[in-house]
Amino acid sequence: MVSKETFNGSVEYVQVMDENGNVDQSLFPQDLKDEQIVEMLKWMILTRALDAKTLSLQRQGRVYTYAPLVGEEATQVGTALAMRKQDMFVPGYRQHGVYLVRGASLEAHFMGWRGFEEGLKVPKEVGGLPVSVPVGTQILHAVGLAFAQKYKKQDSVVLGYTGDGGTSEGDFYESLNFAGVWKVPVVAVVENNEWAISVPRSHQTAAQTLAQKAIAAGIKGVQVDGNDVIGVYKVTKDAIESAKNGMPVMIESMTYRMSMHTTADDPTKYRDPKEVEYWKARDPIDRVRKYLTAKNLWNADIEAKLAEENSKRINEAVEKAEAFKGDPKSMFENAYSFVPETLQEELDDAEANNFWQ
């Protein structure tokens, strides 16, 4: 008879800046300069403003169903800023902040959420794939994309995003497993915002952490305070380095969905408002504001000026997006690399009979 321990794993939790803006110097990334932290704050503020505007447009019927991100700015901005220019990302449907930081236009954001595919024509230099709705399925694309980078000997790492709910999907586990076997340059970012629509994290899995799921696939798993933009930045930088060297990483970024899942649900129906209060005190933007104010790098005037600029940019983008009139013909022209005869006939029929007017 033999009885011995064959595996013993653990998961590290990282927080660099706490909710009061205090920083742990031993973990603070050496290369991170003050002006970069100012940039982080600016991106988070723009992201929140964009989110608020989109939600308000939705309430006015000018945007269709929308998935707000408020509360998750640090996770999105921190991971996106940690990427190098040549790195790529595969988002779910809530990563508006990632797109922004990576250089996608505000106009494209509104066009997409107003229901036009033209908004999902992500430019090459952004390095992102279009919004993907089926939860957790797109991490597989990140793994395949990472395989292609490795195959073509490109120095590029791919970040794939999903949420806590997404980790229950079979495709999520298959992604980590393929990533581990193939040793491809991929980082899975789990934006654990505690809620999958109305189902809390505690009902999603009995696993103590989501990050430990990585261990079962033979890759690295790490937890980070997802409302700490510096912590997220650090952990992502390290993960990219690791993935580049053949060890994929899964990051569990522990944040909170301050708002609804999408505009189609009302969170007061399924969660205690006290919980929201708890997280309000851990806001990702407040702590950076405190930190930079203490260093005399931020004040109310700067913030007011920024708010004004943001608002102007956002409003201009809305105007442009609302001026866009799609051409239904584009549906027919983009299904295949060619237009099949039978499809051409449907197109001709619609045009000849003014079906679109």
Partner 1 sequence: MLNAINNALDLSMKADENIVLLGEDIGKDGGVFRVTDGLQAKYGENRVMDSPLAESGIIGTSIGMAIGGLHPIPEIQFAGFMLLGFSQLLNHAARYRERSRGAFTVPMVVRTPVSGGIRALEHHSDSPEILYSHIGGLIVVEPSNPYDAKGLLMMAATMNDPVLFLEPTKLYRLFKQEVPEDAYTIPIGKANRIAEGNDLSIITWGTMVPVVRNVVDKKKLSADIIDMRTINPLDEQAVLESAKKTGRVLIVHEASLSFGAGAEISARIAEKAMFELKAPIMRVGSPSLPYPLPGYETAYIPNEKKVAQAIDKLMSV
For the annotated catalytic residues, the residue numbers are 257, 261, 270
DSSP letters spanning 132-156: --STTTTHHHHHHHHHHHHHTT---
- Judged by beta carbon, residue 21 or residue 130, the one nearer partner 1 is 130
Number of residues engaging partner 1 in binding (CB under 8 A): 47
Closest among 279, 261, 265, 132 to 196, alpha carbons compared = 261
**CA pair distance 76, 92, nearest whole angstrom:** 12
Closest among 217, 223, 232 to 252, alpha carbons compared = 223
Strands 199-200 and 195-196: antiparallel
- Residue 345: which residues within 8 A CB-CB, separation 6 or more? none
- Residue 93 is a binding residue for partner 1 (CB under 8 A): no
Q: Are 140 and 174 in contact (CB under 8 A)?
A: yes
- Judged by beta carbon, residue 18 or residue 171, the one nearer partner 1 is 171
Binding mask 281-320 vs partner 1 (x if CB under 8 A, - otherwise)?
A: ----------------------------------------
Q: For the CB of residue 24, give the shortest distance to partner 1 in the complex, in Å.
A: 36
Burial call 24-41: b when 16+ CB within 10 Å, e when fewer: eeeeebeebeeeebbebb
Binding residues for partner 1 restricted to 101-120, rule: CB under 8 A: 117-118, 120
Binding mask 324-353 vs partner 1 (x if CB under 8 A, - otherwise)?
A: ------xx-xxxxx--xxxx----------
Q: For the CB of residue 87, give the shortest distance to partner 1 in the complex, in Å.
A: 13
Binding mask 148-187 vs partner 1 (x if CB under 8 A, - otherwise)?
A: xx-xx-----x-----------xx--xx-xx--xx-----
Residue 206: both structure tokens together = 């009995």
Binding site for partner 1 (CB under 8 A): 90, 117-118, 120-123, 129-134, 137-138, 140-149, 151-152, 158, 170-171, 174-175, 177-178, 181-182, 330-331, 333-337, 340-343
